[in-house]
Structure 1
Amino acid sequence: MSDRLTDDEIQAQLPAAWDRDGDEIVRTFEFESYLEGVGFASAAGGLAEEAFHHPEMTIGWREVEVRLTTHDAGGITQKDIDLAERFDELAE
């Protein structure tokens, strides 16, 4: 199990496009088309499965909202920060 990050650690490490929402970090990725968003969600799901760390993802019209938290730690851990960075790289 990963240890929860402190508020200061979260603030220092949170990727620029992500926001904190309580015990989660969240980002909405925007795309040119619905299917581009679906493709991103599918690829992000593959990365999540590889990391064995599964986000909440909501697919909307030309956007995908991603929420990360570590349930067994009861909050935000390094696993969340690391996966957020991988999702950012995927979206570039």
Structure 2
Amino acid sequence: MSLNRTELIAKIAEKAELSKADADKAIAGLQDVLIESLQAGEPVKITGLMSIERTERAARKGRNPRTGEEIQIPAGYGVKISAGSTLKKAVASK
């Protein structure tokens, strides 16, 4: 089972004793900060929870799965997310 945005907002509102509207604003704010920081190439580290950074992907050759034709895939960026120590310990203990 996964947690969707609505369920996440409800749980955060309950745990932090906030209204759902305030919890939604907090999630939206976090999303905006993550996007802005990663677009600028700045890593985001939430100690104990996670580290998020932008990674570069080199240009490479690939194949069109429908035709088998070789294609050139342009260079671009990806996102790398690493679990922090607190999160790793919490998951390992269950």
Normalising by structure 1, what TM-score? 0.26
Q: Which has the higher contact order (CA 8 A, sep 6+)?
A: 1
Normalising by structure 2, what TM-score? 0.25
| Bigger CA radius of gyration | 2
